[in-house]
Copies of this chain bind each other. A is one copy, B any other.
Amino acid sequence: MKYSIGIDIGGTNTVFGLVSEKGNIKAINKISTKGYKSFDDYLDEIVDNVIKFYKEVSNTTVEIIGVGIGAPNGNYYKGVIDNAPNLEFKGVLEVRHLLEVKLSQKGYCINVALTNDANAAAMGEMIYGKGKGVKNFIMITLGTGVGSGIVVDGKLVYGSTGFAGEVGHTIIEEQGRQCNCGRKGCVERYCSATGFVLTALEKLKNSSEKSILREYAEDEITGALIYDCALKGDKLCLDVYDYTAKMLAIGLANATAITSPEKIFLFGGLSRSGDLLLNPLRKYFETYVFDVFKNSVSIELSGLKDDDAAILGAAALCFNK
């Protein structure tokens, strides 16, 4: 049976999964991403873990067809991690090439594929989730940032640079909030976890509306707290969802005008709020989307489980090459 090894490189941990073509995770393993003397030492640790999987299945019917990696700022074409702010290792990291060399030096001739987290998530959705058979869709990952992977005609869009699919960094308000990227008014600055909390802080400051949030210090106000208060019917918190949904809707309407997806899947962070976000989002989307696309796009929650998605997405890279 065909398997691949999916590796999810995060700022804190690196997780390995042995994943079947059908999406069953046969084995899982975790190492730290931090505390190595050098990037080379970290890669050696990855190599050891990959080989461990190979040895475990050596006398079985399992055939491992490759290694897929999802990583922050991963570039599919170049196989590099390009200046990822959340990793200890800086600069341009030649992950794919170095891993292939190190593995072959140990007698394992294995293809390695690498892409960024959001593209991996889109790939996971396409192969194992609700994206199966959907030729045009957009996967939006709502987390610390807002990432996206865009599928056109059954293929992930990488574009000329390998970095296509940055819905989070489209500008929806030219003189809007200052984004970490140096520009103003990016979707990410309104719809990420940070942006969501920022909206609440702004509303607390700029209105005198009653809210449970006023019982908390500024640094105690988190996405989870806003969610809890919204569930209790706190008007200000419901307004935070409304504004977030509106800004995300504009970003998604613009992306739709460009690639005309059949579905948009939401994953991670804010998407866990379910209908609190989905209901206003769908309403605003139909308001802001260009006429010819009205009622043509279904906005849904991802079909991938939070815990498995990154591994499945990385592993899926090998099954979709």
Contact A170 B254 (CB under 8 A): yes
B-chain residues with CB within 8 Å of residue A297 when the two chains form the complex: 160
Contact B158 A260 (CB under 8 A): yes
Instruction: Please measure, in the bound complex, the distance between the C-alpha atom of A248 and the C-alpha atom of B225, giving whole angstroms.
Output: 40
Question: Given A172-B174, A173-B173, A293–B258 Cβ distance below 8 Å?
Answer: no
Q: For the complex, would chain A's binding face be called helix, strand, loop or mixed by DSSP majority?
A: loop
Scan A145-166; emit 1 where CB is below 8 A from any B CB, else 0. Answer: 0000010110101111111111
Among A23-31, A40-48, A54-62, A284-292, the stretch in contact with B:
A284-292
Q: What are 18 sample pairs from A and B whose C-beta atoms fall under 8 A apart? A: A82-B292, A150-B258, A152-B157, A160-B260, A160-B262, A163-B293, A164-B258, A165-B258, A166-B257, A170-B254, A171-B172, A171-B250, A171-B253, A172-B174, A173-B174, A174-B250, A258-B259, A259-B259
Interface size on A, residues (CB 8 A): 46
Confirm or deny: A282 has a beta carbon within 8 angstroms of a beta carbon on chain B: no
CB distance from A123 to the nearest CB of B (A): 16
Give A257's nearest chain B residue, CB to CB.
B166
Confirm or deny: A167 has a beta carbon within 8 angstroms of a beta carbon on chain B: yes
Candidate in A150, A152, A173 with the most chain B CB atoms within 10 angstroms: A152
B-chain residues with CB within 8 Å of residue A173 when the two chains form the complex: 173-174
B-chain residues with CB within 8 Å of residue A257 when the two chains form the complex: 164, 166-167, 169-170
Contact A261 B160 (CB under 8 A): yes
Q: How many copies does the complex hold?
A: 2
Contact A159 B82 (CB under 8 A): no
Closest 7 A/B residue pairs (Cβ): A159-B260, A164-B260, A160-B262, A170-B254, A166-B257, A169-B290, A136-B160
Confirm or deny: A221 has a beta carbon within 8 angstroms of a beta carbon on chain B: no
Scan A251-294; emit 1 where CB is below 8 A from any B CB, else 0. Answer: 00111011111100000000000000000000000011011110
Contact A290 B136 (CB under 8 A): no
Within 8 A of B (CB), among A156-199: 157-167, 169-174, 181-183, 186
Contact A164 B259 (CB under 8 A): yes
B-chain residues with CB within 8 Å of residue A296 when the two chains form the complex: 160-161
Candidate in A155, A164, A257, A287 with the most chain B CB atoms within 10 angstroms: A257
Confirm or deny: A135 has a beta carbon within 8 angstroms of a beta carbon on chain B: yes
CB distance from A115 to the nearest CB of B (A): 13
Contact B260 A258 (CB under 8 A): no
Instruction: Please measure, in the bound complex, the distance between the C-alpha atom of A161 and the C-alpha atom of B290, giving whole angstroms.
Output: 12
Instruction: Please measure, in the bound complex, the distance between the C-alpha atom of A152 and the C-alpha atom of B174, giving whole angstroms.
Output: 27
Contact A167 B291 (CB under 8 A): no
B-chain residues with CB within 8 Å of residue A182 when the two chains form the complex: 291
